[in-house]
Structure formats: C-alpha cells, structure tokens
Amino acid sequence: MKKTLLIVCDGLGDRLVDGLTPLEAAETPNMDSMAKEGVCGLMDTVLMGVRPGSDTAHLSLFGYDPFKYYTGRGPFEAAGVGLDLRQGDVAFRCNFASIKDGKIIDRRAGRQEEGLDELTREINNIKIEGAELIYKKAAGHRAVLVLRGAGLSPKVSDTDPEGEKVEYNQSKALDGSREARKTAELLNDFTDKVVELLAEHDVNKKRADSNKLPANIVLARGAGMKASIPSFKQKYALSAACISATTLINGVAREVGMDLIEVDGATGHVDSDVGAKATAAIKALESYDFVFLHLKGTDEASHDGNFKSKKEMIERIDREVIGPILREIKDATIALTADHSTPVGIKQHSADPVPIAILGDVRTDDVERFTERDCARGGLNRIRGLYLLNILLDISNRIKLFGA
C-alpha cells in the first residue's frame, strides 16, 4: 500500500492560441518528467461535453457523482467558511454589494471590508418568518447565508443578477413546489430587510465619509441543499487532507470529510506562495494516506485571458511545486491534472478534456511532455474524472475487490 498525492492546477487545460496552448508554450521540465516516467491521458472531469464548475469538478474528482450530490454551490461555500450545515438547510453564496436608486452600482461593495463585520452581526439579528437565518462573512466582500427550517428547497433563483447597472432580482421558485415558493419568499424577505437595515446605517455613513461605496445590500446566488454525502473515510477507508486557499474547494473537501490544512502565504491568486503549499503537501503525506493539493493561480490567469500570466504561473508551479515534490516524495502515487479547462481565449470554463499524468506503479507510455495534445496520445486514453480516485487508489493498492 502506498500513499497518494493528487495535484490539481485549476483551469489548467486550454485551447490553441497561435498554435500553442499555455501549457505547450511553458517550460515545464518537472511536469514533463512526470509524463515521461508515468502514464498519461485525457480526462473529462465531469462528463464529455459538460462544462464543469470548480465545485462539480472537485466532487467528481473525489469520486462523488455531481449529478447525484450537487444542488448548488451554497452548501460548499458554507462548509468552506466552517459552517456545519444540517440536512434540510439551504445555503447561498452572498456578496455585500452597493445599490443606488434600486440599481446595482458595484457587485462587491468596492471590495472594501470596512464595517462589514459589524453589518454581519446586525444582519444575524434580522428575523424572517418561517426559518432561522445564519449569515457568516467570508474573505473580502463575500459571505454565506443559510436558511434553516422545515420545508425548504434549493430550487430558487438568485437575487444576484451577476451584472451591474441593473436592478437586483426577486428570487423565484424554479419548480412548482410549495417548498421552493416558501424559500424564494424567505430570501426576498431577507433581502428587503437587509436593504432597510443598511440604508441609513452608521457603517455606511462612515464608509461615505472615507469615500467608500456603501455596503447596502446582500446579493445571494447558488442556492443549494446539504447533500447526504458518504464521507471520504467511509468510502475509501483512508485519512485525507486538502491543501487549498479557495473557500469553495475547501468547502467541497470539508463536506466529504477531509481535513483542511492552512498554509501561510497561500492566497489562491497568481501571487500565492505555491512553494509553501508544496512543502505542506510533502509534510502532510507523512501523516495522511491521501493528500489533495489545489493550485488556483492558473485559473485566475485564464479568467483574465492572460496567456503570458498563465504560462508563467505554470512555470512557477513546475519549478516551485512539482520540482520539490518529485525530489522529496519517493514512494507514492502522484497524479497531476486539472479540474477543467479555462481557455484564455474565451476566459471561461470549457468542456475540453484535461491532461493527466500519473507517476507510480503504472504502465508507462511514449508521452514525453505534459501537455493537452501529448497526453491525448497517452496510455490512459480518455478517462472520466468520477473514476480517477479509484484508479489512483488502485495503483496505490488500496481498494477492495468487487466480486470474488
């Protein structure tokens, strides 16, 4: 039995720009040595032709079918900020935002945190009829809202229009159910009361005095209900840890029962201290059977449409993460892949399959570089993300026989 390390570079996969993907353009001697000494392939993290979100992709990569377990990002955001949801809770990802004359002027309240802790405390004192509410601030302008009570449903639309210079939305039931209608009404009631509470609030007067945009509304999206998910330990009988600086990913990992390891200097951005994360992963592998290491910067550069920044982030991961890991970890199964493609040309997630390389007790192939097109000729052919963890644990000789 061996230990297993899964390294995911968020949004790593790409399409051709002037004939090359960022991964092809980057100098990646360490990733390439994984390709050379391991077995490679392509992977559809959710399903061929499905554009994965980061949450659905990671559920799938951890072996949980998102078509079964996913109702929305809310519960994973809640888990990511340390809220323990109960069965029946409906959770939303929220933003503090700024409105003027009923229209959104900034979806992130200028990204300024001044007074948001105080507003959070007061929002928690709001009473809405028919459910308990829990509101927790996350990093920056972000927050999570949980509605707790009987007869709720995640089938409701967002109040966040995800645009500016428009009015915020009234939440609506997405199906005809009484539960959805009730939940939408509760969310609209909550929103109205927040707007009323914050309109003339002292915090916003102070923000105005220092030329900051007001935090005078909370926009909610991604309603989801806590799923009844078998824990990672139940499912795989091993101890597992997650190293990520992204709330949503930590939330998914926490929901399936992984331990979360925090790393100083890990920011989830292109400036993150990825070397410190690699060091933490190497150390974690001493005490855990399975370690998941998530690196977000590649996705951030992709959403910015910045080829050069993505290429440089890849090169830094190669040098500061993959290099040390290959030097330090000698007898484990190590996989390198992505949760989805985020082509810089379209600045959004796509369904293009991602490259994968697995190092360990594997049947090697002729692939010499870790790129999308080289891995397409690899010995794994094209696999589905939902099966990845079992494939890795099998290479580590850790899964049970099915049958006799």
Q: By C-alpha distance, which of 219, 3, 265 is closest to 104?
A: 219
Among 198, 295, 322, 389, binds a copy of itself (CB under 8 A): 389
- The token pair at 2 is 């061996």
Q: How many CA atoms lie within 13 A of 64 on its CB side?
A: 26
Residue type, 140: G
Contact status: 165 vs a copy of itself (CB under 8 A): no
Report yes or no: 91 and 254 within 8 Å, Cβ to Cβ: no
Nearest approach, Cβ of 235 to a copy of itself (angstroms)? 12
Verify binding: residue 235, a copy of itself, rule CB under 8 A.
no
Closer residue to a copy of itself in complex, CB, 185/236: 236
Backbone angles phi, psi at 142, to 5 degrees: -90, 155
Give the nearer residue to a copy of itself in terms of CB position, either 203 or 395.
395
> x/- contact string, 4-33, with a copy of itself (CB under 8 A)?
-----------xx----x------------
Cβ of residue 154: shortest distance to a copy of itself, in angstroms? Answer: 13
* Among residues 22, 38, 53, 154, the one that binds a copy of itself under rule CB under 8 A: 53
Handedness of CA 273, 275, 276, 282 (dihedral sign): positive
Q: How far is CA 175 from the centre of its chain?
A: 27
Q: Could you tell me the smallest distance in angstroms from the CB atom of residue 164 to a copy of itself? A: 19
Q: In the set 36, 50, 122, 238, which binds a copy of itself (CB under 8 A)?
A: 50
Q: H or E element: which one contains 358?
A: strand 354-359
d(CA 52, CA 299): 13
Which of 220, 263, 354, 393 touches a copy of itself by CB under 8 A?
393
Q: Which of 302, 350, 354, 358 binds a copy of itself (CB under 8 A)?
A: 350
404 near a copy of itself, rule: CB under 8 A:
yes
Helical residues (DSSP H) of 62-201, grouped into ranges: 66-69, 74-80, 116-123, 178-199
* Contact yes or no for 7/336 (Cβ under 8 A): yes
Nearer to a copy of itself, 15 or 111 (CB): 15
Question: Is 248 an interacting residue with respect to a copy of itself (CB under 8 A)?
Answer: yes
Report the site for a copy of itself in 168-227 (rule: CB under 8 A).
222
Longest CA–CA separation in the chain, Å: 74
Binder to a copy of itself among 29, 230, 265, 345 (CB under 8 A)? 345
Q: CA 52, CA 312: separation in Å to the nearest integer? A: 24
| Sole window of 117-125, 265-273, 307-315, 358-366 interacting with a copy of itself (rule: CB under 8 A) | 358-366
* DSSP E strand stretches across 87-141: 90-100, 103-106, 132-137
Total chain residues near a copy of itself (CB under 8 A): 60
C-alpha 77/C-alpha 82 separation (Å) is 9
- Interacting residues with a copy of itself (CB under 8 A): 15-16, 21, 42, 46-57, 66, 70, 72-73, 93, 222, 248, 343, 345-346, 348-352, 361-365, 372-373, 376-377, 379-384, 387-391, 393-394, 397, 399-404
